Each structure stands twice: as structure tokens, then as C-alpha cells.
Amino acid sequence: MDIKKYIKPTTIIIIIAFLIIGLYALTEVNYFSYKQVAESKDVNASVVVIPSLGVFEKINNVSISQGVYIDVTSNIPTKGDTVLYGHRTLQGSPFLRLDALKKGDVVTVEWPGIGEVNYTVKKSEIIDPTNFIDLNESHVNDVNNQELYLVTCHPIGSSAQRLVVTADLDSISPINETVLEQNPQAHWAWLITAGFLILGLIVSYFTPAEERKIILAVVIAITIILAYYCIFPISSQVWADQLGWLNSLMGVT
């Protein structure tokens, strides 16, 4: 059987493209869905809130692939300088618009047992990835001079440089214990699934009739998988680990 007689090369390319898009969509669906499940059960988690950017993210000490990651070699708020990392591409892209932060903007870190620690942005800078953030050890016992560093890749989609936003500790207030009862990004998993389906329908509409059924079958199958993980998500870290080779191949960070 000559497969080319039944499936044209262009159709094969389209199917491969949808499979790749589907894999990335699967990572994002699991990120937002798992985030909803995990955070709704963990009202005492640490959170970073950036009102001017609409950022409301749980902080973890496992991996940057799980959202905003605290550098374990730095300190928790009020115990010294704190360093937080976040992606600008994929994995929810929590720091996608970090470059939009301006001097005077407020960043709040809510930490159980400490409270709401408010920081005021003082500067943004671009540094080489080989440069290290110099944590001032004298700040450990000096709350009035402690700093928060928000770090992400620059430019978007590249790891060539680092964007670092520095903020000064400004005030501490009682923590809002209900902060994680609602996940404002919970709907994104379903929007990504719907967007994938719509894209597939549009592409299939403009393909020849004899090839349309094949493409539609692939699109619908992937959409069903995405919908399944919207309801029964697993940690996006699993998919991020599997996609590491593809990210490297495509230059995505």
C-alpha cells in the first residue's frame, strides 16, 4: 500500500504540526488545571501577587516548571533577600510581562507565619545569564534594607539574557488566609482546549475534502485528550520534562 496515495505530504506536515501544538497545549492545560486543583486544597501556600500585571501565583521550591520558584539559596521574606524565578514562555508564563513593571509598582509576597510582605519596585535591568545576583548577607538581620529579586529570561522565548526586577521591602501586614480559595486562571485550561479545536476546524476547512476527515480526526482526538486533562490533570512538570528535548530543538525556553 502506498501511503502517499492516501495521505499527501502536506497533510502529513499538518498532522505533525498539530501533534506538536497539541503537546505544548497539553503542558499548559495541565499547568492551569493542576494549579486549580492543588491551590484550592492549599490555602496556606506562599503566593506572589503583582497587581499591576495581574499576577497571582503560588510559590514553590521544587522547579520553575511548576510556576514561580524561590531560589533555595536565598531567603524567605523578612529573613534576608529573596529571589523568585518565573518563565516568560510556557508553563503558565507567570513573568511574561515582567518588563512592564515600573518604579514604584507594588509586589506582595504572602508567606504563612510571616504575613503579607509588600515590596516597592526600584529598578529593572538586563544581565548576562552568567552573572549572579549578589545577596547582601548584612540584610539578614536588617528588615529595613531587604530586597526582592524577580528574575526571568530575556527576550521572550530566549535564554540569552536575564531580566531582573529589584524591589525594596516596604511593609508587613497580616496575611489574607483566603487568598488561594479561588484560582483566577482556572478557565485558561478550557480556553486553550477550545482554541486548539477552533484552530483545527479552521485549518481543516481550507484543506481538500479528501484530506479533511483525517485532519479532523486528529484534531478531535487531541481535543478529547486535552479535555480529559482539564478534568483530571497531573503535574505539568511531567510533561515539561518530556518536552525538554523539543524545547531545545525549537529554541523555546
Which range in 7-11, 34-38, 102-106 is most confidently predicted, on average pLDDT?
A: 102-106
What tens digit of pLDDT does each residue of 155-214 get? 887 778 899 999 999 999 887 654 444 455 668 889 999 999 999 999 999 988 888 999
CB 35 within 8 A of CB 58: yes
Query: What is the distance between the alpha carbons of residues 226 and 156, in angstroms, rounded to a whole number?
Result: 25
Which residue shows C-alpha cell 507567570?
94
pLDDT at 182: 47
Instruction: Give 3's pLDDT tier (boundaries 50, 70, 90).
Output: very low
Q: Is the pTM of this model over 0.75?
A: no
Range 117-134 average pLDDT: 89
pLDDT at 142: 75
SS (H, E, C) the chain: CCHHHHCCHHHHHHHHHHHHHHHHHHHHHHHHHHHHHHHHCCCCCCEEEEHHHCEEEEEECCCHHHCEEECCCCCCCCCCCEEEECCCCCCCCCCCCHHHCCCCCEEEEEECCCEEEEEEEEEEEEECCCCCCCCCHHHHHCHHHCEEEEEEEECCCCCCEEEEEEEEEEEEECCCCCCCCCCCCCCHHHHHHHHHHHHHHHHHHCCCHHHHHHHHHHHHHHHHHHHHHHHCCCCHHHHHHHCHHHHHHHCCC
Query: What is the distance between the alpha carbons of residues 190 and 2, in angstroms, rounded to a whole number?
Result: 39
Please work out, in degrees rounded to the nearest 5, the angle formed at the alpha carbon of residue 22 by the alpha carbons of 214 and 55: 150
Range 229-253 average pLDDT: 66
* Bridging pattern class, strands 47-50 and 106-111: antiparallel
Please list the residues that pair with 66 across neighbouring strands: none
Domain ranges of the chain: 8-37+184-250, 43-173
Range 132-152 average pLDDT: 83
What tens digit of pLDDT does each residue of 46-96 get? 889 898 888 888 898 888 877 899 998 899 999 999 999 998 876 567 888
Query: What is the distance between the alpha carbons of residues 243 and 28, in angstroms, rounded to a whole number?
Result: 12
More confident residue, 181 or 150: 150
Residue of 102, 138, 133 lying closest to 120 (CA atoms): 102
Q: Which fold, 43-173?
A: Sortase; Chain: A; (2.40.260)
